[in-house]
Structure 1
Amino acid sequence: MANEVSNLQLVKKLNRISVLNIIRKHNTISRHQLAKLTGLTPAAITGIVRDLVALGYVIEKGVGKSNGGRPPVKLQFNPDSGYVLGAEITRNKTTLGMVNLNVKPLFLRKYNIDMGDPYEGISMLAQEVEKMIRESGIDREKILGMGVASPGLVDITTRVVKHSPNLGKKWCDFPIKKRLQEITGINIFVENNSNAAALAEYSFGKGKDSKNMAYINLGEGISAGIIQNGSLAYGFKGYTGEIGHIVINEDGPLCNCGNNGCLESLYAVPALVRKANNELALYNQKDTLKAIWLEKGSVTIEDIIANANEVDSYAWKLIRQAGWHIGKGVAAIINVFNPEAIFIGGILAEAGQSLLDSLRESVQKHAFPELVREVKIEISSMRRDTGFYGACAVAIKALFEGGVDALLDVELSSST
């Protein structure tokens, strides 16, 4: 008997989440249409919709045209019925924000949090989360979860960060999900930052119509998130997409991973900034970036990007050089996974056309001709904030796939 009751409750929850997802994907829909789409009885649909309206997830929005009987009541998803937080963490900067269930941002802020020590860094992040919730004035019960996008190897079964060279040596087997959940009391969902960004691009970016695509993250590191047949490609443990650790020069500089001459050690943002500050001393005095270097004593990635489209300047040549070599990694993705689209994001993507032109030229040279011919390569519409939106997308995806009791376990009626 206990098993029968348990199974009945599970069916109720699954039916409820199925109906909610259908309503969410339609602008407006009627109870009659829901019954046809789900195969559930009109009585069952009536009970489920009653629950969802009572929970605030669904609102009744006017009436439709009658086909002879009573006019159907239009149902709509209520995106303000709940909220999620999202955070993308890097070594020294964290992007934190809050969005509604249609990913409309209420807050989007940058914090200078040192993540070198994961316990201290995550504690500081938790403090900012609490401040943001208080400032929002939103009832805590309406905060349904928080997504975290982290660089490094994130185990897909435990959501433990196994190793993250770009965050520091202390990020080894760090239980980020467990730790942050214990401090905040919020349901936490952790994903590799490039995987999260790929999910965001596919869910509500330029990649909506591309079920086989890749997102290339160009920031403190270089990595890729891959969507295959509409789902994230994880591999055995979830460690796919580490194209930044393709060795392109065995005599090159030491990489955080321990190898020499990795793509990331030569052309990720920190490497480009080091290269510019070392080389500008010998460069043409009339160059605009050289003038900034002389005035400030050093240049930043923002300075490089601001001058990247000045043809024949040092910044232009540096960005084109980076694009050419990054294009080799992108070509490898195309040769192995055969995507229909590639989207370039992260800080370096803000260099725009000078980066994209060089990268495309390299891809054309290094990828298999028949595979590259149909591939669309574009700059991501979300650019450096794609990781943040990806963190939000990870949380929302988990919510609407039944990963959180807040959406499933409230019993309001005897609906089936």
Structure 2
Amino acid sequence: MGNEVGNLQLVKKLNRIGILNIIREHNTISRQQLAKLTGLTPAAITGIIRDLVATGYVVETGFGKSSGGRRPVKLQFNPDSGYVFGAEITRKNATLGVVNLDAKPVMLKQYSIDMTEPQQGLDLLADEVAKMIIESGIDRKKILGMGVAYPGLVDITTKVVKRSSNLGNKWRDISIENWLQDKIGIKVFVENNSNAAALAEYILGRGKETKNMAYINLGEGISAGIILNGMLAYGFKGYTGEIGHLVIYEDGPLCNCGNNGCLESLYAVPALVRKANNELALYNQKDTLKAIWLEKGNVTIEDIIANANEANTYAWELVRQAGWYIGKGVAAIINVFNPEAIFIGGILAEAGNTLMEPLTESVQKHALPELIREVKIELSSMRKNTGFYGACAVAIKALFEGGGDALLDV
């Protein structure tokens, strides 16, 4: 008897989350249409909708056209019935915010948080989440989860962070999910930052309906999130897309991963900034970036990008060189996975055409002609905040999958 009751409760919950997902996918839909789509009886649909309206996930928005008989009541998903937090972690900064269940931002802020010490960094992040909950004024019961976009290797089965060459050597075998859940009392979902960004591009950005695509993240590291047949491609343990660790120069600088001459060690943002500050002393005194270097004593990636559009300047040459070699990594993704679209994001993507022209030329040279002919290569629609929206998308996706445990009570 106990098993029968449990099975009935499970079926009821699965039916409710299934119906809710169908309503989310439609602008408006009626009870009658739901019955036809699902095969459930009108009585079952009526009971489920009653529950969903009572909990606020569904609203009735008037009457549709009648095809004979009573006019059908139109139903819509209510995205403000719940909210999720999103956080994108980098070495020295974190982007933190809260969105509704349609990923529309309510709050979005940047914080200076040093993540080289895992416990201290995560504790500070948890403190900021607690402050933002109060500042947002959102009922805590409506905060359903938190997504974290993390720059490193995340085990797909355990969600334990195995390591992060970008954050430092203390990031080994750490469970971000458990740590943050214990601190803030919210269900946490962690994902590799490039995977999260790819999901955001696929669900919210230019990648909609593009079932085979890759997102290239150009920030503190260089990596790719890959979607095949509409699903994130994880590989055996979840470590796909680490194109930043393609060795392109055997005698190159030491990479954080331990090898020499990786793409990331030469053309990720920290490498570009380091290269600029080392070389500008020897460069033309009339160069615009050199003038900033002389005034401030150093330049930032923002300085480099702001001056990269002027042809034949140091910043222009540096970004173009980066674009050419990054294009080799993109060509490798195309040759291996045969996507229909590539989206370029991360802070370096702010350089626009100065980056994209040599990158595309390099891809054309190094990818197989049969594979590159129909591939669309574009800048991401969300640019440097894609990781944050990806973290939110990860949380929302998890909430509406797997039976909807975090959304619906039995």
Output the TM-score relative to the length of structure 1.
0.98
Aligned equivalents of 1:120, 1:268: Cα separation in 2: 26
| Whole-Å separation in 2 of the counterparts to 1:82 and 1:209 | 26
Give the distance between the partners of 2:354 and 2:18, measured in 1 at CA. Answer: 46
Partner of 2:22: 22
Partner of 1:154: 154
Contact 1:187 1:404 in 2 (8 A): no
Q: Is the 8 A contact 2:17 2:403 kept in 1?
A: no
More displaced 10-residue stretch of structure 1: 282-291 or 342-351: 282-291
1:14-56 Cα offsets, whole Å, 9 max, x none, are 1000100010111100000001111111111000000000010
The aligned counterpart of 2:262 is 262
- Return the alpha-carbon distance in structure 2 between the equivalents of residues 300 and 5 of structure 1: 62
CA distance in 2, matches of 1:105, 1:332: 35
Q: Which residue of 1 aligns with 2:343?
A: 343
TM superposition shift of 1:376: 0.3
Task: Kindly indicate whether residue 392 of structure 2 is the aligned counterpart of residue 392 of structure 1.
Answer: yes
Larger deviation, residues 223-232 vs 278-287: 278-287
Work out the CA distance in 2 between the residues paired with 1:336 and 1:68: 55
- For structure 2, the 5+ residue unaligned runs are none
Q: Is the 8 A contact 1:402 1:408 kept in 2?
A: no
Q: Give 3-state SS (helix, strand or coil) of 1:60's partner.
A: strand
> Structure 1 residue 408: deviation in Å?
2.5
CA distance in 1, matches of 2:84, 2:318: 39
Question: Hey, what's the Cα distance between the residues in 1 that align with 2:406 and 2:210?
Answer: 31
1:364 aligns with 2:398: no
What SS class does the counterpart of residue 169 from structure 2 fall into? Answer: coil
Aligned to 1:188: 188
* 1:226 corresponding residue in structure 2: 226
1:300-339 correspondence runs (5 A): 300-339=300-339
Name the TM-score, length of structure 2 as normaliser: 0.99
Contact 1:17 / 1:402 at 8 angstroms: preserved in 2?
no
How many Å separate the matches in 1 of 2:158 and 2:165? Answer: 19
Q: Report what 1:375 is aligned to.
A: 375
Q: Which letter does structure 2 place at the counterpart of 1:30?
A: S
2:70 matched to 1:84? Answer: no
Partners of 1:387 and 1:68 in 2: CA distance: 49
Q: Encode CA deviations 1:67-117: one digit per residue, 9 max, x unaligned.
A: 121100000000000000000001100000000001110111000000011
1:57 aligns with 2:57: yes
Letter in structure 1 aligned against 2:137: G
State the shift of 1:409 in Å. 1.8
> Is the 8 Å Cα contact of residues 323 and 356 (structure 2) preserved in structure 1?
yes
Partner of 1:249: 249
Partner SS for 1:116: coil
Specify the code of the residue in structure 2 equivalent to 1:196. A
- Taking the aligned partners of 1:221 and 1:403, their CA distance within structure 2 comes to 35
C-alpha separation between the residues in 2 aligned to 1:123 and 1:88? 15
Give the Cα separation in 2 of the matches to 1:331 and 1:406.
40
Aligned-CA RMSD value: 0.7
Q: Secondary structure at the match of 1:206?
A: coil
Contact 1:162/1:172 (CA < 8 Å) preserved in 2?
Answer: yes
Secondary structure of residue in 2 paired with 1:148 = strand
Which structure 1 residue ranges, 5 or more long, are not aligned?
411-416
What code does the residue aligned with 1:176 have? I
Match of 1:112 in 2: 112
Separation in structure 1 between the aligned mates of residue 199 and residue 34 of structure 2, nearest angstrom: 27
Taking only the aligned residue pairs, the percentage that are identical comes to: 80
Q: Which residue of 1 aligns with 2:2?
A: 2
- Which residue identity is paired with 1:318? L
Distance apart, 1:404 and its partner CA: 4.8
Supply the distance in 2 between the matched residues of 1:67 and 1:193 (Cα, whole angstroms).
Answer: 49
Tell me how far apart the structure 1 counterparts of residues 174 and 55 of structure 2 sit (CA, whole Å): 36
Q: Within 2, Cα distance between the matches of 1:162 and 1:405?
A: 27
1:198 aligns with 2:198: yes
Aligned counterparts of 1:408 and 1:208: Cα–Cα separation in 2? 27
Query: Cα distance, 1:232 vs. partner?
Result: 0.1
How many residues are paired up? 410
CA contact (8 A) 1:216 1:343 kept: yes
Paired residues for 1:113-152 under 5 Å:
113-152=113-152
